[in-house]
Structure 1
Amino acid sequence: MKGGGVALLVREYITAVLRQDRLEGLSTESFWVELRNRKGMATLVGLYYRPPNSQRELEVQICREIAGNCRKHKVVVVGDFNFPYIDWVSHTVRGPDGLEFVKCVQENFLNQYIEGPTRGDAILDLLLGNELGQVTEVCVGEHFGSSDHNTISFNLIMDKDRSGPRVEVLNWKKAKFEEMRKDLKSVDWDRLFSGMDVIGRWEAFKVEIVRVQNLYVPVRIKGKVNRNKEPWFSRDIATLIKKKRELYDVYRKQGVNKVLEEYKKCKKILKKEIRRAKRRHEVALAVKVKDNPKSFYRYIKSKRIVRDKIGPLEDQSGRLCAEPKEMGEILNRFFASVFTKETGMKSMELRETSSEIMETVQIEKEEVLAVLRKIKVDKSPGPDRVFPRTLKETSVEIAGALAEIFKMSLSTGEVPEDWRVAHVVPLFK
């Protein structure tokens, strides 16, 4: 944020780069941000606040800045420009300010999308774009907080890449754990394991676990959840929001004081319900923090004002890079440059191996059950695709079968391959 009149909030999954090179040191609050989609295609978004009754020189500077960005880029400009004397239907000016701005809009083929008043009876807040179809579903809504300006909502089309891989994940919120337990309880493990060695028993056990896992846990497409919906958001709150918006629209059209009072009453009830919903959600997270710490820390992270994000990074030529592959190459080159190569190391002498034989280890069902109940369910599965959540939820039903497999493994010395491999993922810190 610059100055105090302009701010842009960008979600974590959107690549955004602040373009310092696009500023000319304007005396008004403004900045430009480059938004990129998965294909790397960029759209420049400019935000402006022009104080009322500003000097003509400031208007000329703003027009020069917008025109320069429109020459080579897809551009969207939004902000409070305070040009109440511009008629955006006929593109004419009825007052002292706005002549240069209208000329800039026409010469750069910019479309102005706001049709209704945004403060009183005047259109002070503007939304401009230099490509047809890049802005859709423009809506002038109610006031934002204590501001006397109306909110503006719209969709920005950035040629989103929809050809990427569809990643399927298990939806544990809709899992049928009781049916899963009943299914596994009916399995005769002794009969199933009859005549099998350790490898065969483990494979048979894994087949049964994966079968019930796929049968009773539905699948959803990753990324299809509503990112704009808060975890405490409920159907009752959605109904109140809809009712509040409808009352506001009726008041704007009719101007009846009775409708205005109903709108204020609905707005007050909505605020109270949101506070209650947030409180209930936070209490539930605190109660389940030991069983599901990932949800707790995800919620805490979402409330942080400053968030750590990788990039953009500067390469050797001074160019800012925001693409994941380019940033990975920059980090790799840096780590390689500071890597210390050890020289003159002496060879290690191996100690003599002990001839002592390990005594017989007894593994009981109760011990296995105790370990299964302590599994952290927020961890990812290994190559066997058996999720920790499944093991914990069905611990009573599978503890005996696992105990028998472990006993045979210790007595015969055989170890299934699934126990000897794991997924290793390097993490940036």
Structure 2
Amino acid sequence: MLESLDILDDSFAFMANMDDVITSSPKPTSNQGIPSEYNVSRKDRNIHGGGVFVAVTKRYVSTTEYSLDTQSEIVWCKIEIAGTKPLHIGSFYRPTDNKAEPIQQLNISLSKITQNGTLPNVILGGDFNCPDVEWITNTIKPNPQYGYKVNRALLDTVEEHGLIQQVKEPTRLNNILDLLLTTNPDLVEQVDVCPGMSDHRIVIAVINVKAKRITKPPRKVFVYTKMNKEGFKNDALAFQKVILTSNERSTSENWSHFTNEIGGMVEKHVPQKNIRERWDVPWLSPEIKRLIRKKQRVYNAFKKYKSDVLWEHFRKIRKTVHREMTKSKNDYNCWEKILVTRQNNPA
């Protein structure tokens, strides 16, 4: 299907759900060349061309989010997903200069989406033209081409809104210029960088509109604080007389009889309930969990008192949580690779 989009002459692109969504930052003059089964959200640069657009299959309920528009080359659309949060898809372009204003305007746009306590599902793609960001460590290379201010503004925006960069291969020469940012990396199943129709390569991603989760079955637990102590005591005393006066069983038979009877008493006198366990990822350390709980407490206080001070405090903690989770996950993945390498090469 990408071959039919002949207007993509300088583009970032990604496909989600088997060609259901295409975003790009080309130089369009009309919707000609885009298949008719797509709804198009677009922001043109001027009459000479340029701009950004998002095309979404008509099988989804999608709307252009005009309220998120700012003074930068960015366009947003929202896809309604049954049974889960909507998916916000954005396309962005930053010119090749040392001005930080486009990133600052992007930050304003994102702030309108992430102003609640829980992060929404966001997929943001585009040509960011920041070749000197090391995305594995979220650091800036020495003497960046477009200046420190631009690169710092981009990293601050990514941290501020809990975004994680998914493109790992160069998209132009040896640089990663075209990015795929998301608040929910579990949505991204696969990212490929393929030959394009210009000096940029095309980024193609497979996106799940609803993240797959491995759920554990509920397990039964006993609520000992509500047990019938008197009933348990009476049954235990009666059983004591029986087992002490029995000389016909072996030691192993007595032990089996004892455990069965005690288990039956617990079932009889202790209330039960089913609980579902949370699926904790291995890099979610106790320190990060404490930060997450602190973040939630501050947000609850903000909802109650509507204080600007509490909101700023919440934003700072949210940035810290995102930074620590990213670092912890990268460290975990690094150790996983080391272990796999040692297993494959024991010598």
User: TM over 0.5: same fold?
Assistant: no
Tell me the TM-score normalized by structure 1: 0.35
Tell me: higher relative CO, structure 1 or 2? Use CA pairs within 8 A at least 6 residues apart. Answer: 2
Higher share of residues assigned strand: 2
Tell me the TM-score normalized by structure 2: 0.43
For the pair shown, the structure with the greater C-alpha radius of gyration is: 1
